[in-house]
Amino acid sequence: MAVALIVLAVQVPQLDAGHAVVAVPGSPVRIRGPAPAPLWSAGPAPASPPAPLPSATPAPSSTTAPGQPSPAAVSQNDAPRTRTLSVPWYHQEFELSCEAASLRMALAHEAIATTDAAILDIIGVDRRPAFFANGALRWGDPFTTFVGDPNGSEVALTGYGTYYPTIARAAGALGGSVLAAGQGIEPADVYAAILQGHPVVAWVTYQWVTPPRSDYTAFDSRAVPYAGPVEHAVTVVGVDEGSVLINNPWSGPEWVSKSTFEAAYAVYDQMAVILA
């Protein structure tokens, strides 16, 4: 069972009090959660600045045809609100490698081929077992590595998963362009990214359940967002007025309502990685 923007292309800025702010051009994204340390570089700086993200609507012309309204008079509500990206679906290769498989699909949009195993090799795997101390769960840190056995079980606490910094780092190492990554990326910004042509790896819950949080303390003392054996990652590849198209690495492509997606997406503090 699969119970199993911080980076602008290549670099994550460190700001005050451990917080960070990133932006998808044309759609501000605010990262409200603490930025896990250490921060990473997704690769060497490019020789020239990256091209701006494509706009969901064409730039207004400096002239207006007779009888047509001026560009300033066109409402933002007239902008397209439906788009489906050409992103292949891949089944996760291991029992709990949903995050790697989701990244693999997003990278395919950039014509980058890889495997779940190759991504896990970049991320690293902390196979130390979970244990309870005074009734509190202690386990590895998914912000820095994959926690547990990728072929393990979330229910049996033999395997768990990994979070956005490792996926962003692996994307950069494989040549992908990470436009934003973090927690606190609003659903509206996820939808805007899709409309601008960018797939999104998003952390949700298995079968879209919404359990209460029961955060645990990692071996390195970090507080880890946790909601039991339901952690899951998917690739968001389409949006329309009321739904989002999900490439679910466990069960296949599926349209889910925005309300269903948003409830599950909130469980891990709106965690996502937006790719080119």
Does residue 205 surpass a pLDDT of 60?
A: yes
Q: How confident is the model at residue 199 (pLDDT cuts 50, 70, 90)?
A: very high
Average pLDDT over every residue of 200-205? 99
Rounded to the nearest integer, the mean pLDDT of the chain is 80
pLDDT score of 5: 32
Q: How confident is the model at residue 147 (pLDDT cuts 50, 70, 90)?
A: very high
Q: Pick the range with the lowest mean pLDDT from 16-20, 142-146, 153-157.
A: 16-20
User: 144-178: string of b/e by CB count within 10 Å (b at 16+)?
Assistant: bbbbbbbebbbeebbbbbbbbbbbbbbbbbbebbb
Q: How confident is the model at residue 168 (pLDDT cuts 50, 70, 90)?
A: very high
Average pLDDT over every residue of 88-113? 98
Does residue 16 surpass a pLDDT of 70?
A: no
Average pLDDT over every residue of 101-127? 98
Question: What's this model's pTM, rounded to 2 decimal places?
Answer: 0.74
pLDDT score of 79: 62
Q: Is the dihedral of CA 138, 136, 184, 110 positive or negative?
A: positive
CB 213 within 8 Å of CB 240: no
Average pLDDT over every residue of 213-234? 98
Average pLDDT over every residue of 41-48? 36
Average pLDDT over every residue of 187-201? 98
Q: How confident is the model at residue 46 (pLDDT cuts 50, 70, 90)?
A: very low
User: What CATH number does the domain located at 16-41+81-275 have?
Assistant: 3.90.70.10
Does residue 150 surpass a pLDDT of 90?
A: yes
Q: What is the DSSP letter of 212?
A: P
Parse the chain into domains and list their residue ranges: 16-41+81-275
DSSP for 5-62, written as a single string: ---BBTB----GGGEEEEEETTEEEEEEEEPPSS--B-SSPPSSPPPPPPPSSPPPPS
pLDDT score of 118: 98
Comparing 47 with 116, which gets the higher pLDDT?
116
Does residue 24 surpass a pLDDT of 50?
A: no
CA distance 219 to 247: 32
Share of the chain above pLDDT 90, in %: 71
pLDDT score of 80: 76
Average pLDDT over every residue of 118-134? 98
